[in-house]
A and B are shown apart, each in its own frame.
Chain A
Amino acid sequence: DAKTTQPPSMDCAEGRAANLPCNHSTISGNEYVYWYRQIHSQGPQYIIHGLKNNETNEMASLIITEDRKSSTLILPHATLRDTAVYYCIVRVPTGTASKLTFGTGTRLQVTL
Chain B
Amino acid sequence: DSGVTQTPKHLITATGQRVTLRCSPRSGDLSVYWYQQSLDQGLQFLIQYYNGEERAKGNILERFSAQQFPDLHSELNLSSLELGDSALYFCASSPGSLGANVLTFGAGSRLTVL
Name A's B-contacting residues (CB within 8 A).
32, 34, 36, 38, 41-46, 49, 93-105
Q: Which residues of the partner chain B approach A49 to less than 8 Å between Cβ atoms?
A: 100, 102
Is B105 a contact of A45 with CB atoms below 8 Å?
yes
Chain A facing B: main interface SS: loop
User: Closest CB-CB distance, A24 to chain B, in whole Å?
Assistant: 17
- Counting chain B residues whose Cβ lies within 8 A of the other chain, the interface size class is 20 to 34
Residues in A neighbouring B43, C-beta threshold 8 A: 38, 44, 102
The number of inter-chain residue pairs (CB within 8 angstroms) is 68
Q: How far is the CA of A49 from the CA of B55 in the complex (A)?
A: 23
The contact string, 1 if C-beta is below 8 Å from chain A, for chain B 76-114, is: 000000000000101010101111111111111010000
Residue from A46, A96, A102 within 8 A of B97 (CB atoms)? A96
Taking Cβ atoms with an 8 Å cutoff, the residues of B that contact A are: 2, 4, 31, 33, 35, 42-43, 45, 48, 50-51, 55-56, 58, 88, 90, 92, 94, 96-108, 110
B106–A43 touching, CB < 8 Å: yes
Contact of A99 among B56, B105, B108 (CB under 8 A): B56
Expressed in whole angstroms, the Cα–Cα distance for A41 and B110 within the complex equals: 9
- Chain B residues with CB under 8 Å of A34's CB are 102
B102 adjacent to A42 (CB under 8 Å): no
* Chain A residue contacts of B35, Cβ below 8 A: 102
In the bound assembly, the distance between CA atoms of A105 and B103 in angstroms comes to 17
Q: Which residues of A contact B106 (CB under 8 A)?
A: 43
Chain B residues with Cβ below 8 Å from A99 are 33, 45, 48, 56, 58
19 sampled A-B residue pairs with Cβ under 8 A: A32-B100, A41-B110, A43-B2, A43-B90, A43-B105, A43-B107, A43-B108, A44-B105, A46-B104, A49-B100, A94-B98, A96-B55, A96-B97, A97-B56, A99-B33, A100-B45, A101-B45, A102-B45, A104-B42
Minimum distance in angstroms from A71 CB to a CB of chain B: 16
